Amino acid sequence: MITFDDSVNLFRIRIDTTDPENIWHIGTPQKNIFSSAYSIPNAIVTDTANPYPVNNHSIFYLGSGGDIMLDYHWALLNFKYKVDCDSANDYGRIEISLDTGKTWTNILNGGYWEIKDSAGKMINSFYTNDTLAFTGTTNGWYNFSSYFNLPPYFYDTLIYKFSFNSDNVVENRDGWLIDNIVFFDDAESINENRIPHVVYPNPFTSSVTVTSKKMFRKIEISNILGKTLKDEPSFSNRLTLDLSNLNAGIYLYSIVFENGYREGGTIIKEQ
């Protein structure tokens, strides 16, 4: 997790300093609505003290490592944020690049994503086909989660580009505040030792069934922050899990086999 309060993972963040008008700052927010970080004291914000200016296009990058010749690959991104800007005319955007920045795709176009408020209520998701979600004014802290399928080919680095964009109208508003970034760049490489398994249906509405060619001893279900939500023992190669109590969203599953070996992936619960 990147909390911006220590230097452990800050090497993954790069603010575009080639643009002298770039307003992304890492520090303690001291603004009208943005008066504190989610995890005190620091966050990344469109200027820690001043309203965002007109005609601005500010960028920072989040990078993670890649793998070679994958047959299954996916990326998860999760963070807390606040937005305060003119709806639609001023906005934030997240893009993803699989070719070291040569081409970019709006992450809201390329996979499952959801936005929930601090009480867990769904605010927006990929069901709405919205490609401009980071705009307007949030009611407190919101949580963004996304699941992005990656194609099976060689690549070097996965890069996210966060940009904030304003028009030519003076707004005197706070912009975009981001904290507690969690991301997984997870892969299963081609491996003769892998144990084939199937999890279906996926997406699901109330339950999933797990089958495997070998006996397993338990299934673990966790959220994308890694918190275990269900730990179901089993001594067979088939198990149906009742997950009707989970909210719509993205979850991780892990199959633990008799020798302690694990296979895992993601499942999506629909609304």
Beta strands in the chain (DSSP E): 13-15, 24-27, 43-46, 57-65, 70-84, 91-97, 105-106, 111-117, 122-125, 142-149, 157-165, 175-189, 197-200, 207-222, 228-242, 249-257, 262-269
CATH number of domain containing 224: 2.60.40.3080
Domain of 109 in residue numbering reads as 10-189
Number of structural domains (the chain) is: 2
pLDDT in tens, 193-234: 567 788 888 888 899 999 988 889 999 998 876 788 999 998
- Do 228 and 220 contact (CB within 8 A), yes or no? yes
Residue 206 sits in the same domain as residue 257: yes
Domain contains 156: yes
| 85 vs 166: CA distance, rounded Å | 9
Residue 145 sits in the same domain as residue 171: yes
pTM, two decimals, is 0.75
Residue 205 sits in the same domain as residue 184: no
pLDDT in tens, 34-50: 999 999 999 999 999 99
Residue 78 sits in the same domain as residue 202: no
Residue 53 sits in the same domain as residue 177: yes
Residue 33 sits in the same domain as residue 68: yes
Q: Which of 163, 189, 215 is the last residue of a domain?
A: 189
264: closest CA among 208, 205, 209, 194?
194
